[in-house]
Amino acid sequence: MPPLLHADGKDTSHPGLLIGGSFERPPIHRFLEGSRQTILFPARITENGVSEPLSTESGLNDKDWDNFIKESLERASLLLATLDPVMVRDRSAVIQMAVLTSDNPMVASCILTRGFLQRFSAIFGPELLITIPSRNKIYVFPKLANRIASAVQTIHDDHLISPMPVSSEIFELSGKGLHSVGTLDPDEGR
């Protein structure tokens, strides 16, 4: 894939491992573990947030792929460090969920970084539930005693109105890794 060029001819894009919906059908992708709707795919992202999936003819060798993944995860880690999640509390001031949002299409990719689990397990415990209604917005809940049911309509609406929708699936993130554990949509029974 040719680089995305600025008007002065300079490559202004950077690598990104993006999380997206399976309906996007990028040439190179894989489903997240246990998922039916949510994929991970390599792309080039401009400074304006425009992303272009890599093609099968990208010509990257194993070392190039390793560097691509490393740089993508480093960028996602840096993004995570800059995000200030909205902490939603109940009437007793107990945090029920965290909402991360930004214009950056790599927000959802932050869940792939090592620091994500560490940051949110300090708040919610060692096992998290995550919904990814759009590429630039994610919801984080504790696995135990969560209030996902009270947020379903909001999450569903975020998915419907987003220009970068992902899925209605629910993911569990723990020391064992990331995998799909269900869906918010009752019509998509597992």
Domain boundaries, the chain: 14-81, 85-188
Amino acid making up residue 53? P
Computed over every residue of the chain, the mean pLDDT equals 88
- pLDDT of 121 reads 96
- pLDDT of 153 reads 93
Residue bearing tokens 């001819």: 9
- pLDDT of 6 reads 43
Q: Over range 38-42, report the average pLDDT.
A: 91
142 forms beta bridges with: 128
pTM: 0.87
Helix, strand, coil percent values for the chain (each to nearest 5): 30, 30, 40
Helix (H/G/I), strand (E/B), else coil: 132: strand
Amino acid making up residue 33? E
Single out the residue of 122, 123, 185 nearest to residue 159, CA to CA.
185
Mind listing the pLDDT tens digit for each residue in 95-149? 999 999 999 999 999 999 999 999 999 999 999 999 999 999 999 999 988 889 9
